[in-house]
Chains A and B, each alone.
Chain A
Amino acid sequence: MSDLLAIGTSALLNYQRALSTTSHNIANINTAGYSRQNVEFGTNNPKFEGGTWYGTGAHVVSVNRAYNGLLTEQVRIHTTLAERADAYYGYAKQVDDILSDSKAGLGAAVNSFFTAVQGVANDPSSTPARQVMITSGQSLVDRFHYVDNRLDEIEQQVSRDVETTVAEINELGTAIAQLNSDISFAYGATGHAPNDLLDQRDALLEELSGKVQVQVVVNDSLMANVFMGTGQPLVLDASSGSLSVEPNIYVPTVRDIQLNLAGQGGTTVTTQMTGGALGGAMDFMNDILLPARRDLGQIAAAVSVSFNDQHRLGIDLQNQLGGDFFTEPVPRVFANANNTTQNVPALVDFDVDGIANLTTNDYYLKYDGVDWSLTNAQTGVVTPLSYGTGGGVAPDGTDATPWKVDGLSISVEDIVGTVGAGDSFLIQPTANAAEEIAQRIEEPSQVAAASAVAVQQTTDAQGRPVNTGTGLVDQVRLSRSSGIDPQFTLLPMGDDITLTYDGTNYNLSSTLGFNITPPTIAYAAGTNNGMSATVTIDDGAPLPLTRSVDITFRLSGSPAAGDSFILYDNDNGASSDNTNALQLAALESRKLMNGGTASYNDANGEMLADASTKTHRAEITADAETVLQDQAKELRDNVSAVNLDQEAASLLDFQQAYQASSRVISTANTLFDTLLKVVG
């Protein structure tokens, strides 16, 4: 009878536990990472009595969680991939929006600017037309600034997000380490795995896998060791390392990620932090944002350098040579924080003649103690450079003859005395160019619409021709100038150059005795009709600067011997001359970028295509990864998560068993009463 009572009571308690476990399951229906728990029953040891074995009821063996380690790991893997894709696409979409906004985009501003240049070409003497050109130039500059600012805002946002993510990773690491300690203690003390703590840790690990890629290795004492990215340890047993955000070794405003381990100091791990929101942010920066800013800067640099170059070849309404229309950006140079000194070479600039070869890449300028080299940071291509070997003639890195590589002009003369072996510099030619370009000219009269030089046949006092042949010299323009300082308001030639035909050659002469190369040009009417010629004129005077200009013109017709033409500085009020404005307007469709394959707007199109193709791919990836993540979670949840119907059924089941056990106790009671009555 006492058996009956004991069996009934223990069964009652067993089912109470089962019912409470079911309630626990129902209560945790919405708890992330919760694994439903099962009570496992076992039969009690039988008792030998009267020559046979009697059962003594049941007991609870353990409470298990429905768990499959492989499926949980799959969820982590897909969470890493999905969060990376999601973060990446979220940022990429913003860049795509900025670049594809037809009103705020760059293309429309480039078009309006060149429309305004054409307006000046149509009516060069009109002050309003010139004013419109200056205003449109300012609008173009504003557009560069606007797009670059928007991109910069996104860069700032990504930086803040990275800092937040790093802080979250650190907190997760600490919490996981703490749980490791708790789990290991509980397991060691009882020999039973603490299900709810394991679930909590799995939930934290899943959350962590959304921040950065993780590998989890569980040891014998149930501690989870966590490695990030490409194998950097975050949690080892009960201790956790931490990440921090530190200034980049070259550019202090750029942030690197550093892993700090107790007793081991810090290691830069920026490029190793793959996967998750952190990896997505890093990949976005390197794939889309930084390239887009460099692309934009490349266009700003090309527009300002090539437009200025042409503008300087014209003459303005004040009869002065054209100055810079735009303020040109300057490549940024940073010294490595470990360099011997923090001096940077001062003369790193765009190479006007090679501007078409300007890339969108960054470069490392390195000194090994003997020689220099320039390494493209994106392609890895190395250009060896030698200092001072050219004797000041060939490019040798001196101020006089700087190295010319990829549209850059580099001199290290000013630092060559202080630089140490192993020193290196980061050159960012275009990263900030879109921010730095500015409108320089403010006065409408300063637009150099006219050709700086002009030509005329020799005339008499009344302006009538004196030549007797039909020879013609026209299409004259200044094609190169050096040594002309606009501050000194010098004119390109400073003298009239006379071309006199002697029947075979044009002989060139200068009143002031300037050097003309070549001094004669052979011209035969029949064979050379329409030939183009270029002569170089220098004044031979070293002060203030040795002035040297190239004048290009066209020869045609049949000149008679003795006929002459005069090349002159076009400073006699040629207010209606649009020669240089036409050349400026033509820049719009010239292939002045990417090695002579792309116009400004082609480059803009390439930038947009590049960013939007990557965004498009990111969208597809993000969608696909989300589906895969959902599937992985479903598979896990199908094993681990709570099903209410199932719990309802369990509830009924255990309730009935509980009631039956109660009946066992009441039966025992009835039996006892019956016995008492018999006795009593």
Chain B
Amino acid sequence: MEKELRVLSPVSILGYGIPTESLRNGVARQPHVIGVDAGSTDMGAYFLATGHPYMNRSAVKRDARLLLEARRDTGAVLIMGSVGGAGSNSHVDNMVEIIRETAAELDLHFPLARIYSEIDRKLVEAAMHEGRVRPLTGAPQVTPEEIDKISGPIVAQMGVDPIIAALDAGAKVVVAGRACDEAIFAAPGRRAGFPYPLALHMGKLLECGAACATPRTGRDSVFAYLREDHFVIEPLNPSRRVTPQSLAAHMMHEVEHPFLHREVLGTLDLSGVEFEPAPERGTRVSGSRFTPARTPTIKLEAATLAGYRSFVLGGMRDPILIQQLDQVLDGVRARAAEISEVPPDRYTLTYRVYGRNGVMGDLESVSTITSHEIALVADVVACTQDEAHAVCDIVFNGLLAFPYKGSIATTGNFACPFSPEVQDFGPVFRFLLFHVMEVADPTEHFSMKLLNI
């Protein structure tokens, strides 16, 4: 029989909720590998900066329990990447603790590799001085002196090599910090000697569960067969299909280029990819290519504090008021600048007008609205939480009573659903580092430890 590696992708994010029936169908296909991604930069820099896990603990534990049982029943290796959301060391420790607790409850025992991906600021600073660090498109230029502005850790995104090293060491469960999504699924295939372009391409398609299927969702499972000259992906839910179009859509998903994907070791080139129908509502994929880079690069991510937020949410329904919304909002802004003890250069007031351009902001093309009601979020980000609250209080009471021409209603411009009206949100973070760093060895900044669970 042709050599193949069978890979199960149960869900797009650990904790989103693995459908039990799909998982059962996956287990029945006897996977060698169960891979699951648990993070992204999509949810913003907050989780990286603070160390708070992205997903709710009980939801993560429920999915982890199902996967540990699936691993027990099949003997597959279980690989989790970007755990906790940002893949910081505290996120990794938290995930290991959840696995320990679950394994104890199920009386399961296995070698677990914990891979940290935080990288020391001093190392990054030195690499910056040596000219080995550059921003990715759109990211700010950051000088070595600005490293001090980072809130929380710097994480580096690992490729396949640190995961391969963990498997070589005998790990049956791998809990990886920040990792390239595709590396989670590509590492065992690379290790088993399958062509790297195919393994990587398969990983790119599997990383979001059934997001590569149709109907599309990240909250369901798919299965892949990696072979010498192609791979096949099929859905595990009978109501879905994996089609050339659904795969093409996912190949383009959340990347800048549709068919050239830069990763640690080089560039995956999917321009010549070919799709053919396969059994079980699946699709066969071949023709993936790879161009190795001269020097491996790892992506660095780090956050910086943008300020502290307070906000108030409310609605407007009076058409005379809605017609003059801009005059009211501008007037309230001017009043806050005049009467607040907090000078305007210490805060940013953003009005989010839902029913007009709250969703698209400057990208909105509709300029005249006919909305019969408006939701307004007055969003204040200031240098301190107290300042944000003080300004937001003034904005709120201004909105409530600001006069406008021709008003018939004489009290209350602003319908608030909650008490207290002004909410303190806490710190706000933005990404400071979204850079790549040239490295001599793609494993050098990732530290692995084998633990007996």
Are A and B co-members of a single complex?
Answer: no
